[in-house]
């Protein structure tokens, strides 16, 4: 992201932000997660009306090297713009800051967005990079102040 440097991201399908998931009310969504991180992760479907066991909550982690499939059907009335992100216990912030998040749009079949309206999807991050291009870490990922030994600058 900075000229002459390399920034390591963690991502869904090698994309930052993750791939757009664009579906309709009534659709059944089936997504496989292969955890290639060295820590637990989940995929949490932020704000979507999905069953608790499919919602990637911290009590349902996917271990490093393990896989699972999330599956849910989106009810009528759920149309909207959502995001998905990891939600492992105490590691959510780090995984999101490192790039793991994406958008999910649920469209209505009976009340579509008029085609005359141009859609622009924005994902805004407060990512900060150090001069060497690495993701800057000024606080612990939990949001608590960093210990002096790990504080940058």
List contacts with Cu ion (CB under 5 A). 46
Nearer to Cu ion, 134 or 141 (CB): 141
Asked if residues 58 and 89 have their Cβ atoms less than 8 Å apart, the reply is yes
In the complex, what is the shortest distance from the CB of residue 62 to Cu ion, in angstroms, rounded to a whole number? 16
Q: Which is nearer to Cu ion, 8 or 53 (CB)?
A: 53
* Contacts of residue 150, Cβ cutoff 8 Å, sequence gap at least 6: 137, 140
Nearer of residues 46 and 136 to Cu ion, judged by Cβ: 46
Cα–Cα dist 13/25, whole Å? 24
Strands of 80-85's sheet in order across: 21-24, 102-107, 80-85, 44-46
Q: Is 128 left (phi over 0), alpha (psi -120 to 50) or beta?
A: beta
Q: How far is the CB of 21 from Cu ion (least distance, A)?
A: 15
Closest CB to Cu ion among residues 35, 92: 92
Exposure string for 121-131, b = 16+ CB within 10 A, e = fewer: eeeeeeeeeee
Q: Give least dist CB 120 to Cu ion, A.
A: 22
Smallest gap, in angstroms, from Cβ of residue 40 to Cu ion? Answer: 16
Which residue number has the CB closest to Cu ion? Answer: 46
């Amino acid at each position: 992201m900075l000229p002459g440097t390399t920034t390591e991201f963690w991502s869904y399908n090698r994309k930052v932000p993750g791939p757009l998931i664009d579906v309709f009310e009534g659709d059944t969504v089936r997504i496989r997660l292969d955890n290639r991180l060295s820590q637990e992760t989940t995929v949490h479907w932020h704000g979507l009306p999905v069953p608790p066991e499919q919602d990637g909550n911290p009590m349902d982690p996917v271990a490093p090297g393990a896989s699972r499939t999330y599956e849910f059907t989106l009810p009528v009335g759920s149309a909207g713009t959502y995001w998905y992100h990891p939600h492992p216990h105490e590691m959510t912030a780090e995984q999101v800051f490192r790039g793991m998040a994406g958008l999910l749009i649920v469209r209505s079949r009976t009340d579509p967005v008029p085609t005359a309206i141009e859609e622009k999807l924005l994902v805004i991050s407060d990512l900060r990079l150090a001069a060497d291009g690495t993701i800057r870490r000024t606080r612990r990922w939990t949001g608590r102040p960093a210990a002096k030994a790990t504080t940058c600058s």
